[in-house]
Structures are given as C-alpha cells and as structure tokens.
Structure 1
Amino acid sequence: MAFEVLDEHEQGEQVQKWLRENAASILIGIGLGLLLLFGWQQWRTHRAQRHMDAAVQYDALSADVTKKDYDAAKAIAARLKSDFADTPYAVLAAMREADIATERGDTEAAHNALDWAWQHAGIDALKAVAGLNLVRVEIAQTKAQDALDLLDKLPKGGFDATAAELRGDALVALGHKDDARAAYTDALTHLDQNAPNRSFVEMKLNDLPATAVASVEKKGS
C-alpha cells in the first residue's frame, strides 16, 4: 500500500516538474491557438462582410440594368471585378456586362467580359454558364474552332444538352455536317420531350443535308 502511495506521489512530482519546465511553451501554445481561433473568426467575418457588400453592389447593378442605365451598370460591374473579384457577384456582373455589350452589338466587349467571368468563376455551375455563353459569342465571331476547344474544357454535368447543341453549331460553321448531326442528336437525348427548345434543335438537325451514306443508298434504290 505504501509503495502505491509513493508511486502516486512520485508521479505527481514528475508532472509538476514537467509543468514548471514547460510552462512557457504551454502558455505560448495556448496563446497561438487563441490567436489562430481569433484570426479565423475575423477572416470569416471579413469574408461574410465582403460577400454582403458585393451583393449590395450587384443589386444596384441589376436595378440600373432594369432602368436601362447601362453606363451606371458597367461602372458597377467594373468596380465589382476590381474590388470583389473573389466573389460570385463579380462573375455575375461580368455576365450582365456581356449581355449589355451583346445588346449593343459589341461582340468583342461581350467576349472580353465573358472571358473574365470564365477565368474567375470558382463555382463549376457559374464556370459552365460563363463558358457556354462565351462559346456562343465565339461562334458568332466565326471562331468555331476556339468554341470547340472551349467546350472540351467546360465542367461536366448539368448543361449537357446546351453544350451538345453548341457543339453542333460550331461543327456546322466548320462544315463538318456529319459530326454536327451526331452532336444535335446527342443534344436531343438530353432534352425532355416537352423542353421548349427541343423543336429548335430538331429544326437544326433536319436542316442538315443527308449524310453521304444515306445519299448513296438513295441513289442506289
């Protein structure tokens, strides 16, 4: 019994000795931990405030677009891209800026705005939307090969029908009618029978000339 008490006493002395020798390190570790925790909370608060400020700016941009005050909207878009580039609102603002440029017939400005959105989008869904809109502009600018290259880089999922349809458009522009037919057919497989744009894709498919094999078979009959 005395041996057990002595062991416990010795262990207690060793613990106290260790605490005395390492007190400074322990206090420094606790202090660093508190600083890191405080810094993390401050960073989260700052980030939340930035997102809130960006949201307010984007709401003002949307209001200006509704009023057709495009110059004011472009100014806000520029500010969002400059000061809030790490937020989704800057990407959305760039896409609205591209809409304004497209409405004015300025495809180059639209391309620049959408390229910025594509480069800065950190969310796959936003990146896909920005990329698809950029593909449309590149096809309109007769940059069909660039459009095809960009389609290959888009995040997968969620926009398969649109991506396939645009691939068909780019292939038609390049004169690859058979490949375009396959792309439009693929787009239709991803569209519901009641999808509003299904008839438009079917029209594009039906407007393509018959395939070379079908033409030969028709002549042979």
Structure 2
Amino acid sequence: MDQYLTEEQQVELLKRLWKEYGLAVLTGVALAVMIVFGWRFYQTYRVEQRQQASMIYEHMMISLINHQYDEADNQAKILRSHFRDTPYSTIAALTTAKIAVDRGNTVMAIRMLRWASAHGQGNAFRQTARIRLARVYLDQKKPNQALNILESIDDAAFMPLVDETKGDAYVQLGSILQAQTAYNRALAALPDTALNRPLVEMKLADLPVEDNQKN
C-alpha cells in the first residue's frame, strides 16, 4: 500500500478492496478448509476400511481352517461387495478359487478368478488371477480358452510363467513346435536360480519329436 496515502485514504482503500474481493477471499479460504478436512476424512476412511477388511479376512481364514466353507464364502462375499477397494477383496477371491479347485468346484473357481481378473486391486493380483484362470481351463482340457486369457497379460515380470503356461496349452493342442518356442522363451527369461526352471526344462525335454524334425 502506498506509504504516502493518508490514514483515512488507507482505510477507504481497505474498505473498497474488502468490498470487491472479500467474498472471493472467504470462498477461497472455505474451499481450502473443505479440501484439507475432506482429504483427512478420506484417509481416515481408507484406514478404517482396511482394518475392517483385515478382520473379516481373518475370520474367513479361521472358517476355512475349521472347514466351515459356507461361512468362509459369506465372508468373501462381504469383502467383494463392501470392501472392493481393499486388497483383501482380491486375496479373498483368489483364496476362494484355490479352495474351490481343491474341492473340485471349477465353476466357483472360474467365477472367482474372473472377478479377480477384472476387479483385482493392483496389476500383480489381476495378472496372477489370469494365469490361475488359464491353469483351470487347462485342467478342463480347454487350451484355446487358456491361450485367450494369457494373451491379455502384458506384464514383463509374469512373462516366463505366461510362456510356460502357453507351452502347456500348445502341448494339449498338439502344436509341438509352438510349445517348444514357448518353453524356450520362458527359459530365456528365467534366471538360472529360478525354482521352476528345472520343471520347464523337463517339459521341453519331454516334448515329442515331430516328423519334420526327424528328417
């Protein structure tokens, strides 16, 4: 403010500025306060959601240990419907799918893995669900469906496992050269210390020799 203005002029200038900009200033302050408190509320809500989801998942696991499968399924449904934005909903779906496979309920397993593939929290969970879904299709002798699922995976970290599973699918289809290519890609990407490397090497060695390879 101009230091040469008289005291009365300074007061009048302040009044005029407040009249012109006072509402905008108040609105800006109010918005800033709302944003700060809204963010804090959101963070608190997320923490509480995770804590509740963790407790429900713990109850689900206890039910599974006690072979109370219906109760475990109910807990998993709660996680999927009310706590979808937490990792526990995806973990519950993957766990339910694993139990379903062990009990021979492939329909339930496929449904859970499809859900996790579409709604899983985090890319790693979604990719894992797709690979497991492809495995279930292979168990059902449906290699084409398995390959369709595997084509949707583009995360480089999962490609060795994807290529190994593709190799298994091509074996079921009788496409030996394609299986060989897939297994070789998997081995090229796997470190020497990888736990599944010996298994992939065995699968590659066990491939039958096609007639055009014999000549």
TM (norm. structure 1) is 0.87
CA-CA distance at 1:27 after TM superposition = 1.2
Aligned residue for 1:219?
none
| 1:150–1:17 distance in 2 versus 1, CA, 3 Å | same
Q: 5+ unaligned residues in a row in structure 2: which ranges?
A: none
Aligned residue for 1:35?
34
Q: What is the SS of the residue equivalent to 1:210?
A: coil
Aligned residue for 2:178?
179
Q: Distance in 1 between matches of 2:126 and 2:18?
A: 54
Aligned residue for 1:86?
85
Q: 5+ unaligned residues in a row in structure 1: which ranges?
A: 217-221
Contact 1:91 1:121 in 2 (8 A): yes
Aligned residue for 1:112?
111
CA-CA distance at 1:95 after TM superposition = 0.6
Deviations 1:127-160 (A, max 9, x none): 1111111111122223322221221212412222
Matched, 1:66 2:65: yes
| Amino acid corresponding to residue 43 of structure 1 in structure 2 | Y
| Amino acid corresponding to residue 152 of structure 2 in structure 1 | K
Q: Distance in 2 between matches of 1:31 and 1:65?
A: 50
CA-CA distance at 1:71 after TM superposition = 2.3
Deviations 1:152-200 (A, max 9, x none): 2124122222111101111112221101111011111222334332222
Q: Distance in 2 between matches of 1:88 and 1:4?
A: 61
| Amino acid corresponding to residue 133 of structure 1 in structure 2 | R
The CA RMSD measured in Å over matched residues stands at: 2.3
TM (norm. structure 2) is 0.89
Pick which of 206-215 and 156-165 moved more: 206-215
| Amino acid corresponding to residue 52 of structure 1 in structure 2 | Q
Aligned residue for 1:5?
4
Q: How many equivalent pairs are there? A: 214
CA-CA distance at 1:61 after TM superposition = 1.5
